[in-house]
Each structure stands twice: as C-alpha cells, then as structure tokens.
Chains A and B, each alone.
Chain A
Amino acid sequence: MNEWTWAALALLVLGLIPVGIATLIGDVMSAAAAFSLTGPMCALILLLLAEGFHRQPFVDLAIVLSVVSSGGSLVLARVLEWGA
C-alpha cells in the first residue's frame, strides 16, 4: 500500500462509516444533511484509489459520481422540501 491508498482507507474507515451511521439515526432532515456529505466523500475515495493503484481511467468514475451525487442531493432536498 502507498500513501494514496492509506489516505483512501482513512477516509473510508474514519470518515465514511461514521457519516453512514449518522445517516441512519436521527430525523429525516438531519439524515439527509449527513447523506449530502457521502457523495463527495465517495468521489474522493475513488480519486485516491485510482491514483494509488495507477489506474487513470478509473478517475472517470469519481468525476461521474461527483456530478451525479450532487444532482441527487439537490433532488433529495427538493423532495424533502415538499414534505415527503
């Protein structure tokens, strides 16, 4: 393992898992607020893994995920706004 994969592991274990647990507890809006952080976190983890494993084409996954998760979070906010 190199420093990039260690950084990805740190973000996954120390960052994404606590945020995932926070998403599962609390009311709907606080869970949605926590969920909005998971998309950028996953994109960064994919970016670091692509750099760590020297797989340059896999960075495209991080790009797509960052765009799609942003749109998804905006749609989720709009749906919650209408009282779902």
Chain B
Amino acid sequence: MSLQTVVSAVLLWSGVAVELLCCAGVAVMGTAYARLHFTAPAGLGATAIAVAILVRQGFSLMGDKALLVAFVIVVATPVISHAMARAAWIRDGGERR
C-alpha cells in the first residue's frame, strides 16, 4: 500500500466523518439556529473529500472538478447559513436591515 493510497484514504474518511457529524448535529438539534451551527462545517468535509480525490488522481480533469465542487460548497454553505439565520430572525419578529 503506497503512501498516496494511505493519505487519500485518511482524507476520505476524515471528510466522511466530518459530514456525518454535521448530519448528526442537524438531525439531533431542534431549533433552526442550533441546526445552522452544523451546516457550515460541511465545507470542511467537502474539502477533505476533494483533496482525497486530488491525491489519488492528481491534477487531472477529475481532480480539478472535485476541487471545483468543494470550492462551491465552501463558498456557499456559510452564505446559506447566514441567509437562513437572517430569515429565521426576521420571522421571529426581528428588525429587517
């Protein structure tokens, strides 16, 4: 088993573990604000999975596209969390700014 395979496997299962922790947090928590704390770290797991593919494939078309998916998720998840929290705040009677 090469070092490349080991590093790729560690990154892959680390990313899967992070994603599963995010899902467990969302499933267990009850309120929207509590759930939103667990949605933003999904970008971290996506990055680990994309880097695992990159380590295995190198900078090929597959590796580049995996990085693109991770980039979109990393950029989008905090923005979505903020937008959802803002919507929850306004629905709870908070001031619209």
B-contacting residues of A (Cβ < 8 Å)? Answer: 3-4, 7, 10-11, 14-16, 18-19, 21-22, 26-27, 29-30, 32-34, 36-37, 40-41, 43-44, 47-48, 50-51, 56, 59-60, 62-63, 66-67, 70, 73-74, 77-78, 80-81, 83
A44 touching B61, Cβ below 8 Å: no
Of B50, B66, B86, the most chain A CB neighbours within 10 A belong to: B66
Residues of B within 8 A of A11 (CB): 16, 19-20
A-contacting residues of B (Cβ < 8 Å)? Answer: 9, 12-13, 16, 19-20, 22-24, 26-27, 29-32, 35-36, 38-39, 42-43, 45-46, 49-50, 53, 56-57, 61-62, 65-66, 68-69, 72-73, 76-77, 79-81, 83-84, 86-88, 90-91
Known: A3-B12, A32-B87, A80-B91. A40 touches B53 (CB 8 A): no
A16 touching B23, Cβ below 8 Å: yes
Distance between B94 CB and nearest chain A CB, rounded to angstroms: 10
State A37–B40 Cα separation when bound (angstroms).
Answer: 9
Say what secondary structure dominates the interface of chain A.
helix
A70 touching B76, Cβ below 8 Å: yes
A32 touching B23, Cβ below 8 Å: no
B69 touching A44, Cβ below 8 Å: yes
Known: A22-B26, A59-B62, A63-B69; 16 extra A-B contacts, CB below 8 A, are: A3-B9, A4-B12, A7-B49, A10-B16, A10-B20, A19-B23, A22-B35, A33-B84, A33-B88, A34-B35, A44-B19, A47-B50, A60-B65, A62-B65, A78-B83, A78-B87
